[in-house]
Amino acid sequence: MKKYYLLSILAVILGFSLSSAAQNKVNFVWDNPDAVRIFEGSMESEALPISAGATSYELTYSPGSFFICPGEGYVITKLSVEGSPQNQSVGKNYTYGQQTSIYLGSSHNGKTITIETKKLEDDGVLNLNVINGAEYVTATLQGSWKDADNINYEYARTIDLSDGTQEIKYPTAYIKEMTISLRKGLLDEIHSVKKNGETVAGNSYMYTYDVYMKDIKSGDNIEVQVYEGDAPKAEKCIVTLDLAPGLEDCIMNIRDWKINEFVQPVDGKVEVLRGTDLQLNFNEGYTFTKFTVGDEDVTSTYNESAQKLRFNVTEDVTVKIEGTAIVYGDVEFTVYVMNPEGVLLTKEVYGSLANALDPEEGTPITSEITLPENSFTDKVGNITTYKGAVMTPENTRMFKIKVSERRPLAYLRPAIGLESVADQSPKCVQVDDNSQIPALFPMAQSRGKCLKVC
């Protein structure tokens, strides 16, 4: 069923447009060529394109998170941000050795970030003998230290293991510890780890088993025996998902608790180790009537409030899910925006960058709209005052936006590129019942009320 609500958002970002967006710039400088990597947003992305041999990089950015790691063969020994009262700590990373993150906002514009590095020298050697089971374990080296200002630094690396003896070279200045860990799921513990002939006790956690050795020194002899007798064999089970028509998209994700990871079905089937607890997490928008695992009705174990079903897998089994998808109607938003090129309005899901406003499709208003000055007092007594504004046919357009009744929300923020413009916040906020709410800028959230923001 289609529903109509008059939800007006009168949004003003005065005097700004996309073409006038401020450009933020920050300058990274370091001492050794190729000693630094920089990532934007996530370390899963490609590193920024720093020229080979460079010792500086000027970055033009929109506010967001950036990650700094050492280049191949280097370690970061100091990182300072211009204007910051203290240096920044640097944590360990098993892929790049180290990492630190910085949120670059408008306050960093024009600043310099200085990074000091040193060339790594692998001057130490560990003698490692893996009697069996190298494929079932991982090995890592790590260390930590503090600088003169008591700022913490860490460094780590992962070792590729194979059965038999091998020499592990490492930098003694930055690595002092070693950890042997079981890969997830197959075994419960490591049979034995010895350091210079003495057995080192292991530690069992919820989903892992580790043997930790501190104060390692060059020349130490490490012996690892993962299992006794024959090599363990993985006993696997196939879970087949049988979904009623209309429920094809009802599962949000699937968690394998034996390995503590999310797993993806292939052709409606999931392969897991025997004995695992498997958890199905469901999307909103569905009504379920029955769950069957094999021949057992497990409907009573479904957690409706958390929208999840958890069960143990001991054999190949079919999980049958019955129910229907909920049919939602539409909610229509009426939105008035002054200078729409300066506004990003998204619907239903916060954080999306899909603009629901097309400045060319809006309809000019036919008469002026005057918004008075008002104030808002939050729960702890802070008062925010918003100045009024006059919207005119020349600068304001009206938009009609439809969203699902399932989540009738709208979110307001500056258009991309305007996040750092000074004095960007709304000048007034008013609701149709004359109550007053905070602008929550860059988010203004509305549910079924006439919200005026200017």
Shared fold status for 23-119 and 124-225: yes
Q: E strands within 133-265?
A: 137-146, 152-159, 164-170, 177-182, 192-195, 198-199, 203-204, 209-213, 221-225, 236-243, 251-256, 261-263
The reply to whether CATH 2.60.40 applies to domain 23-119 is yes
Q: What residue spans define the domains of the chain?
A: 8-16+339-453, 23-119, 124-225, 236-325
In this prediction, what percent of the chain has a pLDDT beyond 70?
76
**Euclidean distance between CA atoms 9 and 445, whole angstroms:** 10
Is residue 438 predicted with pLDDT exceeding 50? Answer: no
In the three-class reduction of DSSP (H, G, I as helix; E, B as strand; rest coil), residue 140 is classed as strand
Which range, 23-27, 204-208, 300-304, 364-368, is most confident? 300-304
Tokens matching residue 63: 């506010």
CATH number of 124-225: 2.60.40
Task: Enumerate residues 6+ apart whose C-beta is below 8 A from 247.
Answer: 286, 321, 323, 324, 325
Residue with tokens 């001991």: 314
Is residue 22 predicted with pLDDT exceeding 70? Answer: no
Tens digit of each residue's pLDDT (9 = 90 or more) over 115-161: 999 999 999 999 999 999 998 999 999 999 998 889 999 999 999 89
Query: φ and ψ at 341, to 5 degrees?
Result: -65, -15
pLDDT value for 454: 37
Tokens matching residue 10: 């009168």
In angstroms, what CA-CA distances link 217 with 99, 210, 447?
25, 20, 63
Consecutive H or E run containing 309: strand 308-312
**Euclidean distance between CA atoms 9 and 241, whole angstroms:** 44
In angstroms, what CA-CA distances link 142 with 84, 203, 247?
28, 18, 47
pLDDT band at 358 (very low <50, low <70, confident <90, very high): low
